[in-house]
Structure 1
Amino acid sequence: MRVVIVEDNSINLDLLCTMVGKLPHVAVQGFSDPALALADARQQGCDLLIADYVMPGISGLELIEAMRQLPSHAHVPMVMITADNDRAVRLAAIAAGATDFVTKPADPLELRSRVTNLLALRGAQNALADRAACLAAEIAEATRDLQRREEEIICRLARAIGFRDGDTWDHVDRVAQIARLLAEALGEDETFVRNLGLVAPLHDVGKIGVPDAILNKPGRLDPDELAIMRGHVGIGAKILAGGDSDLVQMAEAIAAGHHERWDGTGYPQGLAGSDIPLAARITAVADVFDALCSERPYKRAWPAEEAYAEICRCAGSHFDPACVAAFARSWPRIAPLVGASPDITVAA
C-alpha cells in the first residue's frame, strides 16, 4: 500500500520514512515540500497520508483540507504530526479532515501501530469499493440482458402483429425507426427514445381482434365495418392496460391514442392538443406517413413526395405542429427508409 509522508525537515522526513517503510507491503513516498505532495495527489492516489502540522507555504492543516477536496482522497486516512497539544488545533485538524494524530517526537512503535491500523481500515475500504464496483458491473450486465430480452420479445410480438395484418412487418419496423428519429429531433431523452422505438410497432396490436374479412378487405370499408376496424384501438388499450413498467404504459398510451387528432376530431376519445400523449402524437405522424407510402389491398402506395406534403399540410389539424416540424427536420434521415430523395423541399 502507498503511504505519503510530508515533512519539511529532511532529517525528520527520513526518520518517518524509515519507520513506516519497515512495515510489510508498504511503499513510502516522502515529500519535504507540501506543494509537491499536493501536485502528486492530483496525479495519483495513496492509501495513507502523514503530514507535519507546521510547514512553510502550505501548513499540514491546509494540505489535508486541500487533499480532502480531491475525489481520489475523499476517504484516505490522514494523520497529522504535531508537537502542539492545543485542543483548538486538533479540532481544526479534525474539521479539515484529519483521521488521527501523532505527537512529536513520534514514537516508532506507536507510529507503526497507528499506521498498521489505518492501513487495515484503508484495505477494508478498498475491498468494499471493489466489491461495490463488481456488483455495479454485474447489475449493469443483468440490466442489459433484461433489456435485450425485452427488445426481443417486443420485436417478435410486433412481427406477429405485422403478419396478422396483411404482412405489414416492414411497415411497423419503419414506424418504429421514424418515431425514434422524431423523438430525437424533439430533444427527448435517451430512455424515451429507446422506449418509443420499442413499443411504437405495437400501435396496432388491437388488430388481433379484428376479423380477417375486414382486416384484409380489398375495397373500402362500409360504416359498420369501419366501426369494427376502429375498435382495434380499444382492443389494443385493453391488451396493454394495467402495466407496471414505463414501457408497457407508453405502449398502452400509443395504442389508445395514435388515432386521436391534434384538433380533437380523432377517435376514440376526441382528445385534442397536448391532452394526447406525446408518444401517441409522434407515432401518429410516423404511422400515417409510412402507411401512405405503403401499398395496401385497398389503395396504391403514394410517392414519398406526396406523402411528405400531406403530413406537412395536416400540421395543426391532424398532427401536432411540433411533431411535423421534427418530421421535416429529420427528413434527410427518414428519406432512405422509404427510398426517397433527402433533398425534397415542401413547406411545412
Structure 2
Amino acid sequence: MSALPLASRPTVLIVDDTPDNLTLLTELLKLLYRVKAARTGEKALQIASSDEPPDIILLDVMMPGMNGFEVCRRLREQSWTRHIPVIFITTQGAADDEFRGLELGAVDYITKPINPPTVLMRVDNQLRLKAAADFLRDQNEYLEQEVQRRTQEVMAIQDVTILAMASLAETRDNETGNHIRRTQHYVRALADHLRHLPRFAAELDDETRHLLFKSAPLHDIGKVGIPDHILLKPGRLTHEEFEIMKMHTTLGLDALREAENRLGMSVPFLRLAKQIAYSHHEKWDGSGYPEGLAGEAIPLSARLMAVADVYDALISRRIYKASLPHEDAVQYIQSQRGLHFDPDVVDAFVVLQDEFRAIADNYHDGDAPAAQ
C-alpha cells in the first residue's frame, strides 16, 4: 500500500475514549490516511454528519455515555451516513460484541490488543469494497436518472402527439376552440371525485386517471374523416347527414387501432382513447350510438366524456346555435340523469359544477364570453 498525496487520501475516523488507543491507531494509520479522532459517540456522529464525512470509522464498543453499538445504530438510521463502513474494535474473545456489531451493520471487527498489519489490511480491504460500492451506487443513480429522463421524453412525445392529433381534428371545426382542453379537465375532475366511491375506486386508480386525462383530447379524432359540407354545416343536419356524422366514432376507433397496428404493440393509454372515441355518444338508457350500449356496458371512460362533452357543447356558441347559461346546462344534465348519463356521474357533476364553470372560464374561446 503506497501513500497517496494527503488531499487524495481516504479519511479514517477513530472513535475511542482511551487516549492511548487513539494515539496508537493514529500513529499507525496517519502515513496512509487522513485521520480524525473522537473520544465520544456524540462527537463521532457530529463528524460523520459533517460536510466532509469520513470514508471509514474504527469504532470502540465500550465507551462511557453513548457506546459503540448506539453510535452504529444511529449511523445506519441516517441516509447520509449509512454507507460509511464501520469496523468495531472489541476486546479479545468478546464474541457477543462481535455478533451484535455485525448484526447492527458493522462490516468487520478488530480485537484488542490490536495487530498493526491486521488493522492496515482490514482497513484497506474495506476501503476498496467501499470504493466499488460507491461506484456501483453512482452508476445506479445515473441509470435511474437516465431512465427517468428518457421516460419523461417519451411521455412528452406522447403528449405532443396526442395534442397534434386532437388539434388536427380541431382545425376541421375551428369554432370548437378550446373544447378539447376543457373536456380534458372536466373528465379529470369527474374521475378524481368518483374514485372515492366504492363503485369506482378500483377502476379509477392513479394511473388510469392520468391516462384518462391524456386520452380525452382524442374523443373527436374521427371527425377528421367527416366531409366539410356536413361537419361545417351551419344548419340542422338531415337524417342522412347525421348518419354520416355519427360515423366519426367508428372512424376514430379505426384510426387509433391502425396506429397501434403500425406500432406493432398495444399502447395502454390508447385503450382508453379508443373507448372514448368510439363510445362517448352511447347513452345510459341504450338509445345512443354506435352500438346502442346501455348502463355499465358503456365503458366508464366514455360515460365520463359524455357528461363533459355535452356540458361543454351546451355552454359553447356554435354557428348553428347560441350558448346556454351555465345554470341551464346544469339543469339539462340533471334532467338526463339515468337517461343519457350514468346517474353517479351526474351526481358528481352537480357537486363539481362550480369547478366546471371555473374550467370553462379558464379555457374560454377567444372573444367568446366566459361561462355565465
Q: Shorter chain as normaliser: what TM range?
A: 0.7 to 0.9
In structure 1, the residue matched to 2:235 is: 219
The answer to whether the aligner puts 1:32 opposite 2:39 as a matched pair is yes
Is the Cα contact below 8 Å between 2:175 and 2:318 reproduced in 1?
Answer: no
The answer to whether the aligner puts 1:141 opposite 2:163 as a matched pair is no
The answer to whether the aligner puts 1:125 opposite 2:133 as a matched pair is yes
**AA of the residue aligned to 2:251:** I
Per-residue deviation, residues 48-72 of structure 1 (Å, max 9, x unmatched) = 1211122234433343244333333
| Whole-angstrom CA distance in 2 between matches of 1:262 and 1:17 | 82
Is the Cα contact below 8 Å between 1:20 and 1:115 reproduced in 2?
Answer: no
Per-residue deviation, residues 234-293 of structure 1 (Å, max 9, x unmatched) = 222222235622221121121122112334443334444444333322222221111122
**AA of the residue aligned to 1:213:** H
Is the Cα contact below 8 Å between 1:261 and 1:272 reproduced in 2?
Answer: yes
Look up the SS of the partner of 1:30 in the other structure: strand
In structure 2, the residue matched to 1:97 is: 105
Look up the SS of the partner of 1:113 in the other structure: helix
CA 1:319–1:4 in 2, change beyond 3 Å: closer, same or farther? Answer: farther
| Whole-angstrom CA distance in 2 between matches of 1:127 and 1:281 | 52
Is the Cα contact below 8 Å between 1:218 and 1:298 reproduced in 2?
Answer: yes
**AA of the residue aligned to 1:151:** D
**AA of the residue aligned to 2:355:** S
In structure 2, the residue matched to 1:159 is: 167
| Whole-angstrom CA distance in 2 between matches of 1:65 and 1:200 | 51
Is the Cα contact below 8 Å between 2:303 and 2:341 reproduced in 1?
Answer: yes
How do 1:76-91 and structure 2 match up within 5 A?
A: 76-91=84-99
| Whole-angstrom CA distance in 1 between matches of 2:100 and 2:140 | 32
| Whole-angstrom CA distance in 2 between matches of 1:87 and 1:195 | 58
In structure 1, the residue matched to 2:321 is: 299
| Whole-angstrom CA distance in 1 between matches of 2:287 and 2:23 | 86
**AA of the residue aligned to 1:171:** H
| Whole-angstrom CA distance in 2 between matches of 1:29 and 1:311 | 74
Is the Cα contact below 8 Å between 1:233 and 1:268 reproduced in 2?
Answer: yes
Stretches of structure 1 that go unaligned for 5 or more consecutive residues are none
Per-residue deviation, residues 119-158 of structure 1 (Å, max 9, x unmatched) = 1221222222222222222222222222222222221111
In structure 1, the residue matched to 2:188 is: 180
Is the Cα contact below 8 Å between 2:14 and 2:37 reproduced in 1?
Answer: yes
RMSD of aligned alpha carbons: 2.9
| Whole-angstrom CA distance in 2 between matches of 1:237 and 1:142 | 29
The answer to whether the aligner puts 1:9 opposite 2:18 as a matched pair is yes
Is the Cα contact below 8 Å between 2:14 and 2:38 reproduced in 1?
Answer: yes
**AA of the residue aligned to 1:288:** V
Percent identity, aligned pairs only?
37
Stretches of structure 2 that go unaligned for 5 or more consecutive residues are 1-9, 196-203
**AA of the residue aligned to 1:7:** D
Measured after TM superposition, the shift of residue 203 of structure 1 is 0.4
Q: 2:117 aligns with which of 92, 104, 109?
A: 109
Per-residue deviation, residues 293-348 of structure 1 (Å, max 9, x unmatched) = 2233433332333223323433443233444424325135224134446xx7xxxx
Per-residue deviation, residues 146-171 of structure 1 (Å, max 9, x unmatched) = 22222222211111111224653432
| Whole-angstrom CA distance in 2 between matches of 1:249 and 1:169 | 26
| Whole-angstrom CA distance in 1 between matches of 2:326 and 2:61 | 77
> Normalising by structure 2, what TM-score?
0.79
Is the Cα contact below 8 Å between 1:46 and 1:73 reproduced in 2?
Answer: no
Please identify, of 325-334 and 248-257, the stretch whose mean Cα deviation from structure 2 is larger: 325-334
Give the paired residue count: 340
Is the Cα contact below 8 Å between 1:51 and 1:81 reproduced in 2?
Answer: yes
| Whole-angstrom CA distance in 2 between matches of 1:54 and 1:272 | 76
Is the Cα contact below 8 Å between 1:23 and 1:112 reproduced in 2?
Answer: no
**AA of the residue aligned to 2:353:** A
In structure 1, the residue matched to 2:5 is: none
Is the Cα contact below 8 Å between 2:16 and 2:38 reproduced in 1?
Answer: yes
The answer to whether the aligner puts 1:266 opposite 2:313 as a matched pair is no
Measured after TM superposition, the shift of residue 177 of structure 1 is 3.4
The answer to whether the aligner puts 1:333 opposite 2:364 as a matched pair is no
